[in-house]
């Protein structure tokens, strides 16, 4: 039986998108005042995963009817499982305070067409820590189809277009004003809903472009604490235990993190769990126990 988290009552000092953590180690109360910006507190991590089990799992899911399911959906399902086990991954820093986010919001850049002049926008998808790959696949495709099949601009594009019409001095003032509102948690919910800079996790699939992953910077505006990029699959020949040469397929991924939310050991355990799930994807179909973050 899957366990879901219970809603909490909003308290003084909480934000619309998260609750303030009041029992943090004093170090994490202190650090955001030393490293004020997200780029000041960025750490980098890279790893790779062997794909034999993942590719078999995805083939089985396609045969079950999930046509088009791929590594993007696998990474996201493994990520929400990690959040279920390690809820500190879903923390963020705003206004020099650390918060636990109320939900899981994944941000993704989408090109309407894979051409140099094809327009690009972003989508935000709300996921649950109990979501299976079928749920992730459905939710992601629903939002991506809206972008690729629709001719109208989405909320993010409309918001950006409105500001782009301002003269430069007014544009600069407006952005500073938005940052001030965001600092104090007063940014209108409508703006947060369309902002790709506010969310749990930003992911980019560079494998679809046929290139390796990059280390993508975190944004100082907003509160996204983790950015993951994964690249194209590749083959390597390795020596097996019996002395024969075998060919295996891998995918590399690189992660950029905000170190003000959790310590290095916490990230290490979470990333080890992420790799374990990617190497053993059938675990993603098992029941989920959702751990609550601290108060």
Span 60-86, average pLDDT: 97
pTM of the model: 0.91
Residue 5 pLDDT level (bands cut at 50, 70, 90)? low
Q: Note the pLDDT tens digit of each residue in 96-113.
A: 999 999 999 999 988 776
Domains (range + CATH), the chain: 38-284 (3.30.559.10)
Read off the tokens for 243.
Answer: 């002395």
Burial of 154 from C-beta contacts in 10 A (0-12 / 13-18 / 19+): middle
Distances (CA, A) of 55 to 194, 207, 281, 282, 286: 34, 14, 9, 11, 18
The position carrying tokens 């790959």 is 133
Q: Judge whether 108 and 202 are in contact, CB under 8 Å.
A: yes
Of 289, 207, 284, whose CA–CA distance to 253 is shortest? Answer: 207
Beta partners for 207? none
Q: Are 108 and 244 in contact (CB under 8 A)?
A: no
* pLDDT for 1: 46
- What H or E segment, with its residue span, contains residue 250? strand 245-258
The candidate with the shortest Cα–Cα distance to 208, out of 82, 68, 106, 107, is 68
pLDDT value, residue 86: 98
């Amino acid at each position: 039986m899957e366990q879901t988290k219970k809603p909490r009552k909003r308290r003084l000092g909480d934000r619309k998108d998260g609750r303030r953590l009041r029992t943090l180690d004093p170090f994490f109360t202190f650090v955001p005042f030393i490293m004020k910006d997200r780029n000041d507190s960025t750490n980098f991590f890279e790893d790779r995963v062997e794909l034999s089990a993942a590719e078999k799992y995805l083939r089985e899911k396609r045969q079950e009817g999930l046509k088009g399911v791929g590594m993007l959906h696998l990474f996201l399902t493994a990520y929400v499982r990690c959040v279920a086990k390690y809820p500190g991954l879903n923390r963020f820093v705003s206004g020099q305070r650390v918060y636990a986010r109320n939900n899981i919001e994944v941000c993704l850049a989408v090109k309407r067409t894979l051409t140099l002049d094809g327009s690009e926008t972003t989508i935000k998808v709300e996921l649950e820590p109990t979501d299976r790959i079928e749920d992730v696949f459905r939710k992601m495709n629903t939002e991506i189809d809206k972008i690729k099949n629709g001719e109208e601009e989405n909320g993010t594009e409309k918001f950006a277009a409105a500001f782009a019409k301002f003269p430069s001095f007014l544009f600069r003032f407006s952005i500073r004003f938005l940052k001030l509102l965001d600092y104090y948690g007063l940014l209108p919910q409508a703006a947060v809903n369309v902002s790709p800079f506010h969310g749990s996790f930003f992911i980019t699939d560079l494998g679809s472009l046929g290139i390796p992953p990059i280390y993508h910077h975190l944004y100082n505006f907003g509160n996204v604490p983790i950015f993951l990029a994964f690249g194209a699959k590749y083959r390597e020949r390795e020596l097996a235990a019996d002395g024969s040469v075998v060919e295996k397929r891998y995918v590399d991924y690189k992660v950029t993190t905000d170190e003000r939310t959790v310590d290095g050991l916490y990230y290490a355990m979470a990333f080890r769990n992420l790799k374990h799930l990617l190497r053993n994807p059938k675990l993603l179909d098992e029941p989920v126990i959702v751990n609550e973050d601290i108060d």
